[in-house]
């Protein structure tokens, strides 16, 4: 049991907290009244909370604020007609150049 405790402490110190947590959970099943195991599990949980808060703060401004959605501008009928007319002229011009080749 002492070896399992030390292995858990070493894994946590190396940053392998998931493996260390598993070791302490095994120890907790073997000796549920051991206060040092409970203390270590609480320390791991606190470290996870701090890491999560640090990562959240770090990535908070990464993508910037969400874009604001503006309503689409109203298109006037003459703009739509002009765009349609240009599209028709371009279509005719392209079809003639294909026939010439």
CA–CA distance, 59 with 91 (Å, rounded to integer): 49
Q: Are 24 and 41 in contact (CB under 8 A)?
A: yes
Residues 6 or more apart in contact with residue 16 via CB below 8 angstroms:
none
Asked if 47 and 18 count as a contact pair (C-beta separation under 8 A), the reply is: no
Give residue limits of the domains in the chain: 2-59
Give the tens place of pLDDT for each residue, 69-87.
787 777 788 888 999 999 9
Q: Per residue in 46-70, pLDDT tens?
A: 999 999 999 988 888 777 777 777 8
Q: What is the pLDDT of residue 98?
A: 61
């Amino acid at each position: 049991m002492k070896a399992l405790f030390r292995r858990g402490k070493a894994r946590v110190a190396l940053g392998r907290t998931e493996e260390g947590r598993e070791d302490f959970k095994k120890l907790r099943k073997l000796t549920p009244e051991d206060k040092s195991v409970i203390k270590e599990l609480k320390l791991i949980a606190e470290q996870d909370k701090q890491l999560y808060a640090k990562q959240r703060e770090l990535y908070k401004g990464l993508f910037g604020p969400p874009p604001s959605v503006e309503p689409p501008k109203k298109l006037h009928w003459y703009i739509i007609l002009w765009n349609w007319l240009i599209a028709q002229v371009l279509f005719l011009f392209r079809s003639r150049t294909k026939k010439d080749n």
